[in-house]
Amino acid sequence: MASSCAPVIASQLAKGNAPLIGYLTVGYPDVDTTVRAGKTLIDAGFSILELGLPYSDPGMDGTVIQATGAAALAAGTRTSHVFQAVEQLAATGAPIVVMSYYNPIFRYGEQEFARDLANAGGAGTITPDLIPDEAASWIAACDQYDLDRIFLVAPSSTDARLRSTVAACRGFVYAASTMGVTGERAAVDTTAKTLVARTRAAGAQHVCVGLGVSTAAQAREIGAFADGVIVGSALLRALGDGVSHLARLGEELVSGAQGARA
């Protein structure tokens, strides 16, 4: 059974580093390459991996993640392949979380999904379109199998919504710090820092930020105030040019995050 993400985050913060969380779409360009890419990021210094379960209606994802998900589905990637990738990457010792819209979990069966993820060594899930108010049975399944359950907060979240979401989370709180779909950004504004502060005030221990990070400078800037820096689209774009390109970008991002909290 994998441990929670929280101890890994706390360990990096204690060293003055901002933990990096890397997103990969399982099955892009194929499952074997997903696993190789994940090991490459862990070797580069990423603390946690987020494996995306490809979905036919990814309404909250930007164009890069949508395209990789469509390619993975067209290549025949299914939920069983996601668990296979989790199992191989969890063997590295890094926490592996699955990012999935709720419908695939519901169709698979909440208890069955939680059981199979735990058996594969997964640390937990991020469910971007599921709110805690409607997640009682999913939360119970995660509790039964000792899985992190990670929900999202946004700039539009009220203080009451922040408190209820923080109370439902285990592992960390995912701060989606821009309104709209995900994707790379050219610059960092003050919205993310404000959202992190509000979420901490609501009781969160660890708040990790997804903001379309693509450079070492952005990783350092966000890592100075967030408890984790989530990178997705930039990694997938680099992976499209080959694992060696992904490795170079991963190393650059890690260099930016190291010492960001010192």
How many angstroms separate the CA atoms of 166 and 94, rounded?
23
Residues noted as catalytic:
50, 61
Q: How far is CA 222 from the centre of its chain?
A: 15
Q: If residue 173 lies in a helix (H) or strand (E), which one and from where to where?
A: strand 173-176
Q: If residue 152 lies in a helix (H) or strand (E), which one and from where to where?
A: strand 152-153
CA distances from 120 to 50, 58, 104 (A): 14, 24, 17
- The DSSP secondary-structure symbol of 62 reads -
Closest CA to 127 of 209, 50, 21, 73: 50
Q: What angle do CA 221, 163, 8 make, to 5 degrees?
A: 50
Alpha helix ranges (H) inside 75-135: 79-90, 102-108, 110-119
- Sequence-distant (6+) residues with CB within 8 A of 181 are 59, 60, 61, 62
